[in-house]
Amino acid sequence: MGYVDGFVMAVPTANKQAFIDFARKFDPVFLEFGALRVIECWGDDVPHGKQTDFFRSVAAKDGETVCFAWVEWPDKATRDAGMQKMMEDPRMDPKANPAPYDGARMIYGGFTPVVNLS
């Protein structure tokens, strides 16, 4: 059933185009290293919760938009190998390719799908 990496980040709203440009430059590397699909989403209906919410999860500040992304892989082994290659690839160096958001507040994780409806 594949494997999925999920990411949530707070992006300065003024950096929307920079976020899109960064994703268009960065995301093809996932595909190069075995990912099947990469989806980047700009939050437009993200409610504030009473106990938990996306904003708190990434310590979003005023003037920031919560964004969500995921990467689909054929399996965990391909993902593990692909992520290792990404960490070693000089194109991924944050000094050479800085993200338009605070990566220290990004949350991410790998997930095994248990239901997949199409």
How many CA within 13 A on the CB side of residue 78?
Answer: 18
**What's residue 41's pLDDT?**
98
Low-confidence ranges of the chain (pLDDT < 70): none
CB 89 within 8 A of CB 95: no
**In this predicted structure, what is the pLDDT of residue 58?**
97
Pull the structure tokens for residue 73: 């892989």
Count of H-run helices and E-run strands, the chain: 3, 4
The enclosing H or E element of 41 equals: strand 37-42
Domain regions of the chain by residue span: 27-111
Q: In CATH terms, is domain 27-111 a member of 3.20.20.190?
A: no
Maximum C-alpha span of the chain: 42
